């Protein structure tokens, strides 16, 4: 009984665990770089690691390309650049959220052969050789969708939630572009995390810290830029739960937007271009294929020079049917990049200055990013911080994506991970701008979130206004050449009506309050705007409350706003909104929500309609490619099947096909085969999937009887043996059961079975034996190329019927024996009367149990 209960409990646990596991959503983390994409999937039951691509590689090249109608990704796409330079798109991260007239776009034209155009949103679009145009967000969304498919293949279920890494200096425009691309790819963005912060999470996962802060610099030399993040690690305790956790705080950030591995490649390619022009007196810049080949060669040579002092560049038929060969030394390469040396080190100094720390406070400088392997970069960093502070204790390529995955898992509230909490900061000053209330007066700027403000902060501005007005959120300084400062305009409407309603309620000097939020992902927005006024309470309680200053905060607000235009708007820290107040609460009566209409006049994010249209374009493309893949599969399957049939017909040896087929059948197959091969050559390339499968089906219907005969011949011995086994088992049971039945009748013991039940079983047995013997005899006279006289499926079905009939009787429990009431003692002295030993129930049932 105990073992049965345990088994049931284990089964219930397994079922519950399975239900729990399927209820937990997977979280996908993506580190989208200019050169490489790294991804990691967090899902119960799946080992936590970097996601592999279809070639089992741990990183995917950030490329998408077309080979005529075939769309390719990763290395396959990158390899097409030299053949289809106008249909290959790489380094798209450089153009995320970039205005068409920005320096980032002009720089991109120096490194890429892609044709770019101005989009309807004044960002960048790309034009294929056939004239098809794609926005940067759409091309990036294709790559994210490809990663999503890889994750879903591993997870075995749809993957919706994603967390993406971004450089800490990314503006609102660039962050919008990242989130838009993820949405177009069919994913929901849980969060954006700064890549330096993600590395810090990965670093903290396997380490413990004391309550005294420990300071490190996360140095990331990537392809598109160089970043340095000063981070403190410390052990802390939750004030409510008293549970320990690790606190990660970003204290300062430094960066150089344009210095990175891409610019090293560009300068090395320029060196190769000069060598080619010098050697062959031809301008290779006019040849797109040649330039694409040299870009790939520059990357290869750079990698060699990271480990060697010289490298030989050899490219066959580089351009104009000219083979190119030259030798490049590391010294020559570094001379071409000498002005970048300080640029690689400067972000560290800037980050320390922003954090208010010096090198003496720093425990180590943790190197990440692919370009950190370059000797020149390492030399620059060592010269800036000292070799003893350099740390190589994280995976330079994977630390960011693994940290992002761990952070994403903690956000989902569905995974149990080490409690690591992060505090990140903004890298740009963000201000609010608005016109003063006096008509024709000047614009007032209020610094809301200074550089270094914590993510997840809210602030409230108070205004003395009587009419609708606008509030602009801007960057105080230029964030990048060619990028606008204005982020958005919030049009606050319904002011006059709301103030009138408050006045009717008895409000005193009502004002307008606008709450601005800096989210955990670095987005700034106007969360809400309300009209507020303290309502005078004429009751005794209200008068006493006013007498003792119960609403001093609101009174102070109004007084300060009355001081003049200089202090017309006042900012205060605003805690996150709590639950709704109950009806009738005075606080509710004193507040009326206003309409906030957000307008983007400079560089707008994609609208819902634009994202929906882009998603539909990508889905149509996916569907078209899937249909094409199915058609190609049908074509290849039919072609392979035709070759197989032709080989079977041509083989005149003693094969199963020849033995089990009739001459007329082979002739019919041969004729249909000839017709189908001719059709495939003439119409196969344009035929649709249905027609291709139809042609195969017609041939299979002719071959099917032959295959059936051969399979029946193979399966017959096993089926016959199984049938005979049940015949023998049934007859053995009948013999023993009848003997037990006779013995039990003689001793007046109830039996499990009746004579009628055993007779019915015997009749079923004889019928099965007769049917089986007749079938076997007919099968013996049947030729191999004739249909079987007895089907194995029928043999199995009849044997199963007999088996079930037998099992019903074998598994039946013995009936209980009625107990005989004890006899009264006799008057004799020896008590012999009625004292004969009685047979126990267990003795009477021994024979039944043995059976």
**Residue 116's Cα: distance from chain center in Å?**
30
> How many helical (H) and strand (E) elements, i.e. helices and strands, does the chain have?
24, 29
Determine which of 156-170, 396-410, 496-510, 541-555 has the lowest per-residue pLDDT on average.
541-555
Instruction: Report the pLDDT value the prediction gives residue 508, as an integer from 0 to 100.
Output: 87
Residues 726-765 have pLDDT tens digits of 999 999 999 999 998 888 888 888 888 889 999 999 999 9
Statement: residue 18 has pLDDT above 50: no
Instruction: Report the pLDDT value the prediction gives residue 539, as an integer from 0 to 100.
Output: 52
DSSP structural state of residue 240: T
Instruction: Report the pLDDT value the prediction gives residue 751, as an integer from 0 to 100.
Output: 86
- List the end-to-end C-alpha distance of the chain, in Å, as a whole number: 24
Instruction: Report the pLDDT value the prediction gives residue 581, as an integer from 0 to 100.
Output: 46
Statement: residue 554 has pLDDT above 60: no
Instruction: Report the pLDDT value the prediction gives residue 823, as an integer from 0 to 100.
Output: 58
pLDDT confidence band for 819 (50 / 70 / 90): low
And the tokens for 517? 């939020």
**Candidate ranges 16-25, 419-428, 577-586; pick with highest mean pLDDT:** 419-428
Cβ neighbours of residue 596 closer than 8 Å, sequence gap 6 or more: 490, 491, 492, 514, 526, 528, 529
Dihedral sign, Cα of residue 680, residue 683, residue 686, residue 687: negative
Statement: residue 563 has pLDDT above 60: no
Q: Is-contact 814 752, C-beta < 8 A?
A: yes
Q: Are strands 124-127 and 133-135 parallel, antiparallel or unpaired?
A: antiparallel
Mean pLDDT within 706-719: 95
Distance in angstroms (rounded) separating the CA atoms of residues 653 and 659 = 9
Residues 434-461 have pLDDT tens digits of 998 876 678 899 999 999 999 999 999 9
What CATH number has the domain spanning 14-260+342-423?
A: 3.30.420.40
- DSSP per-residue string spanning 267-284: HHHHHHHHHHHHHH---G
Residues 364-380 have pLDDT tens digits of 999 999 999 999 999 99
Identify the three-state secondary structure at position 553: helix
Q: How many CB atoms lie within 10 A of CB 52?
A: 14
- DSSP per-residue string spanning 146-209: HHHHHHHHHHTS---EEEEEE-TT--HHHHHHHHHHHHHTT-EEEEEEEHHHHHHHHHHHT---
Nearest CA to 604 out of 428, 480, 484, 477 is that of: 484
pLDDT confidence band for 559 (50 / 70 / 90): very low
Statement: residue 810 has pLDDT above 60: yes
Question: For all residues of the chain together, what is the average pLDDT?
Answer: 87
Instruction: Report the pLDDT value the prediction gives residue 743, as an integer from 0 to 100.
Output: 86
Q: Is-contact 180 606, C-beta < 8 A?
A: yes
Give backbone dihedrals phi and psi of 654, rounded to 5 degrees, phi first.
-80, 65
Domain assignments of the chain as residue spans, ordered by start: 14-260+342-423, 430-538+554-605, 607-815+843-851
Percent of the chain predicted with pLDDT > 90: 78
- DSSP per-residue string spanning 378-403: HHHHHHHH-GGGEE--S-TTTHHHHH
DSSP structural state of residue 812: P
Residues 203-220 have pLDDT tens digits of 999 999 999 999 999 999
- Residue 629 to residues 150, 523, 753, Cα–Cα distance (Å): 17, 41, 63
Determine which of 130-134, 427-431, 535-539, 656-660 has the lowest per-residue pLDDT on average.
535-539
- Residue 346 to residues 159, 334, 349, 586, Cα–Cα distance (Å): 40, 18, 5, 56
Between 51 and 566, the higher pLDDT residue: 51
Statement: residue 573 has pLDDT above 90: no
Instruction: Report the pLDDT value the prediction gives residue 572, as an integer from 0 to 100.
Output: 53
What CATH number has the domain spanning 607-815+843-851?
A: 1.20.1270.10
Helix (H) or strand (E) holding 683: helix 663-683
Q: What angle do CA 774, 778, 784 make, to 5 degrees?
A: 150
Beta bridge partners of 311: 328
Residues 253-265 have pLDDT tens digits of 999 999 999 999 9
**The pTM is what?**
0.80
Percent of the chain predicted with pLDDT > 70: 87
**Residue 253's Cα: distance from chain center in Å?**
29
Distance in angstroms (rounded) separating the CA atoms of residues 638 and 685 = 12
Where b means 16+ CB within 10 Å and e means fewer, 82-97 reads bebbbbbbbbbbbbbb
Mean pLDDT within 679-689: 93
DSSP structural state of residue 427: S
Determine which of 349-353, 573-577, 648-652 has the lowest per-residue pLDDT on average.
573-577
Distance in angstroms (rounded) separating the CA atoms of residues 161 and 191 = 9
Query: Which residue is listed with tokens 């580190």?
Result: 31
pLDDT confidence band for 815 (50 / 70 / 90): confident
Q: Is-contact 589 535, C-beta < 8 A?
A: yes
Where b means 16+ CB within 10 Å and e means fewer, 62-81 reads bbbbbeeeebbbbebbbbbb
Instruction: Report the pLDDT value the prediction gives residue 562, as an integer from 0 to 100.
Output: 31
The CATH H-level (homologous superfamily) assignment of domain 430-538+554-605 is: Substrate Binding Domain Of DNAk; Chain A, domain 1 (2.60.34.10)
Distance in angstroms (rounded) separating the CA atoms of residues 393 and 461 = 46
DSSP structural state of residue 87: G
Instruction: Report the pLDDT value the prediction gives residue 837, as an integer from 0 to 100.
Output: 43
Give backbone dihedrals phi and psi of 195, rounded to 5 degrees, phi first.
-65, -35
């Amino acid at each position: 009984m105990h073992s049965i209960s345990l088994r049931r409990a284990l089964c219930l646990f397994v079922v519950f665990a399975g239900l729990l596991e399927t209820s937990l959503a997977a979280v996908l983390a993506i580190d989208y770089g200019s050169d490489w994409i790294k991804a990691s999937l967090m899902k119960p039951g799946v080992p936590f690691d970097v996601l592999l691509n279809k070639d089992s590689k741990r990183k995917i090249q950030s490329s998408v390309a077309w080979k005529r109608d075939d769309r390719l990704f990763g290395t396959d796409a990158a390899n097409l650049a030299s053949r289809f330079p106008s249909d290959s798109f790489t380094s798209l991260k450089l153009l995320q959220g970039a205005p068409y007239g920005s320096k980032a776009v002009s720089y991109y034209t120096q490194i890429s052969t892609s044709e770019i155009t101005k989009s309807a949103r004044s960002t960048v679009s790309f034009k294929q050789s056939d004239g098809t145009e794609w926005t940067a967000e759409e091309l990036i969304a294709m790559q994210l969708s490809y990663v999503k498919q890889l994750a879903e293949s591993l997870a075995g279920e749809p993957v919706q939630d994603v967390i993406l890494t971004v450089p800490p200096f990314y503006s609102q425009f660039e962050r919008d572009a990242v989130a838009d691309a993820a949405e177009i790819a069919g994913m929901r963005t849980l969060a954006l995390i700064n890549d330096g912060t993600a590395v810090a999470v990965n670093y903290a996962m396997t380490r413990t810290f004391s309550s005294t802060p420990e300071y490190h610099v996360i140095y990331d030399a990537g392809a598109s830029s160089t970043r340095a993040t000063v981070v403190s690690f410390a052990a802390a305790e939750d004030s409510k739960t008293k549970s320990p956790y690790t606190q990660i705080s970003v204290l300062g950030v430094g960066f150089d937007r344009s210095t990175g591995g891409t610019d090293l490649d560009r300068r090395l390619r320029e060196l190769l271009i000069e060598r080619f022009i010098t050697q062959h007196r031809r301008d290779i810049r006019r040849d797109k294929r040649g330039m694409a080949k040299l870009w790939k060669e520059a990357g290869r040579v750079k990698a060699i020079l990271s480990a060697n002092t010289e490298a030989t560049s050899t490219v066959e038929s580089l351009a104009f049917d000219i083979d190119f060969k030259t030798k490049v030394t590391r010294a020559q390469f570094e001379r071409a990049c000498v002005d970048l040396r300080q640029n690689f080190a400067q972000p560290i100094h800037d980050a320390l200055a922003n954090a208010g720390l010096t090198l003496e406070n720093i425990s180590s400088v943790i190197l990440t990013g692919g370009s950190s392997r370059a000797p020149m970069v390492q030399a620059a960093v060592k010269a800036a911080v000292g070799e003893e502070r350099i740390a190589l204790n994280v995976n330079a390529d994977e630390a960011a994506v693994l940290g992002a995955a761990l952070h994403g898992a903690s956000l989902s509230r569905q995974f149990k991970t080490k409690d690591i909490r992060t505090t990140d900061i903004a890298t740009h000053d963000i201000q609010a701008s608005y016109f003063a209330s006096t008509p024709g007066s000047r614009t007032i700027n209020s610094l809301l979130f200074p550089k270094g403000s914590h993510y997840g902060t809210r602030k409230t501005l108070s205004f003395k206004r009587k009419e609708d007005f606008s509030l602009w959120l801007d960057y105080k300084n230029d964030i990048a050449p060619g990028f606008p400062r204005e982020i958005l305009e919030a049009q606050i409407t319904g002011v006059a009506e709301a103030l009138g309603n408050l006045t009717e309620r008895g409000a005193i000097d009502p004002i307008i309050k606008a709450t601005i939020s800096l989210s955990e992902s670095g987005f700034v927005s106007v969360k809400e705007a309300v009209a507020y006024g303290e309502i005078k309470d004429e009751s005794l309680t209200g008068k006493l409350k006013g007498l003792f200053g119960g609403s001093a905060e609101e009174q102070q607000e109004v007084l300060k706003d009355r001081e003049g235009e200089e202090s017309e708007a006042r900012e205060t820290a605003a805690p996150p909104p709590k639950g709704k107040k109950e009806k009738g609460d005075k606080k509710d009566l004193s507040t009326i929500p206003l309409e906030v209409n957000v307008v983007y006049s400079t560089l707008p994010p994609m609208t819902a309609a634009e994202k929906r249209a882009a998603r539909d374009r990508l889905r149509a493309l996916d569907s078209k490619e899937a249909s094409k893949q199915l058609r190609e599969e049908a074509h290849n399957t039919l072609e392979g099947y035709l070759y197989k049939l032709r080989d079977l017909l041509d083989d005149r040896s003693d094969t199963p096909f020849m033995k089990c087929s009739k001459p007329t059948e082979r002739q019919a197959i041969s004729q249909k085969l000839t017709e189908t091969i001719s059709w495939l050559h003439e119409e196969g390339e344009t035929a649709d999937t249905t027609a291709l499968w139809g042609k195969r089906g017609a041939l299979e219907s002719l071959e099917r009887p032959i295959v059936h005969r051969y399979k029946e011949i193979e399966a017959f011995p096993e089926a016959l043996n199984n049938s005979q086994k049940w015949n023998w088992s049934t007859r053995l049971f009948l013999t023993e059961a009848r003997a037990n039945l006779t013995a039990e009748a003689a001793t007046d013991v109830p039996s499990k079975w009746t004579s009628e039940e055993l007779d019915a079983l015997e009749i079923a047995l004889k019928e099965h034996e007769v049917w089986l013997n007749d079938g076997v005899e007919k099968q013996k006279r049947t030729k191999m190329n004739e249909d079987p006289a007895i089907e194995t499926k029928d043999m199995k079905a009849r044997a199963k019927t007999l088996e079930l009939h037998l099992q019903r009787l074998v598994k039946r429990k013995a009936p209980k024996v009625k107990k005989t009431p004890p006899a009264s003692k006799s008057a004799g002295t020896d008590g012999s009367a009625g004292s004969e030993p009685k047979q126990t129930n267990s003795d009477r049932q021994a024979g039944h149990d043995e059976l």
